[in-house]
Structure 1
Amino acid sequence: MMRFNLSLLLVVMASAFYLVHTQYESRRLYTAVDRARAASHKLESEHEQLRVLKREQATSARVQKLATGKLAMRPVTPGITQYVTMVGEGPAAVAAPAQEEKP
């Protein structure tokens, strides 16, 4: 009877250690999932901020301002348009500039 009681005690102790280990692992995994959700939320927020910034950078007024300011570009007018005619035939033809018309 004493052996039976000792074997039951060992089984109960092993079961208790397994239960504690399982609870610890569950808490660890829950914490990892919570951290992953927080990181996901942060990345989504940053992605949305970058989308807004991209939209701001691509506005036509800003592009026009950069083109005229930094690149020294100017709007196209018929007075400064240069027409190009094709010399020869086929896709390998060389383009030659036409005479510029001055008003």
Structure 2
Amino acid sequence: MARLNLLLMLAVVASALYLVHTQYLSRQLYTELDRSQQEARRLELDRDRLQVEKRAQATPLRVEKLAKEQLQMRTTTPAITQYVRPDGSVIPAVVAPPPVPPAGPATKPAARAQR
């Protein structure tokens, strides 16, 4: 009978120690979960902030300005555009025709002379 009581007492003590250990681990895991959730919230806020900053940095006007200033790029025109055919030959650039001078006083006397 004494052995049975001793065995039961050891089982109760072992069970109590296991329960304390499990509660300790549970509290540690809960604390770690809380920290991870706080970190996730912080990272989400950083992500939102960075997305807003990215949208601000990627506006077409700003990109064009940086391309002109820092990369010395220029807008394309037909005069500087070259087209390449699939066989490798280059189509010459389209040159804009020279501007036509506006009709000035020299053409008016000729018009009067025809009348």
Question: TM-score, normalised to structure 2's length?
Answer: 0.67
What is the alpha-carbon distance in structure 1 between the residues aligned to residue 72 and residue 27 of structure 2?
Answer: 62
Offset, 1:99: 6.4
Offset, 1:74: 4.5
Pick closer, same or farther for the CA change 1:56–1:2 going to 2, 3 Å.
Answer: same
Offset, 1:42: 1.8
| Counterpart for residue 92 of structure 1 | 87
Residue of 78, 95, 105 corresponding to 1:81:
78
Aligned-residue RMSD, C-alpha: 2.6
Gaps of 5+ in 1: none
Residues 78 and 93, structure 2, Cα contact 8 Å, conserved in 1: no
- Hey, which of these two has a bigger chunk of strand by percent? 1
Offset, 1:101: 3.7
Pick closer, same or farther for the CA change 1:98–1:26 going to 2, 3 Å.
Answer: closer
Segment of structure 1 superposing worse, 35-44 or 8-17: 35-44
Structure number with larger C-alpha Rg: 2
Are residue 67 (structure 1) and residue 67 (structure 2) matched? yes
Are residue 7 (structure 1) and residue 7 (structure 2) matched? yes
Residues 78 and 94, structure 2, Cα contact 8 Å, conserved in 1: no
SS at match of 1:81: coil
Percent sequence identity is: 46
Greater than 3 Å deviation, 4+ residue runs? 71-76, 83-86
Question: TM-score, normalised to structure 1's length?
Answer: 0.73
What is the alpha-carbon distance in structure 2 between the residues aligned to residue 55 and residue 73 of structure 1?
Answer: 22
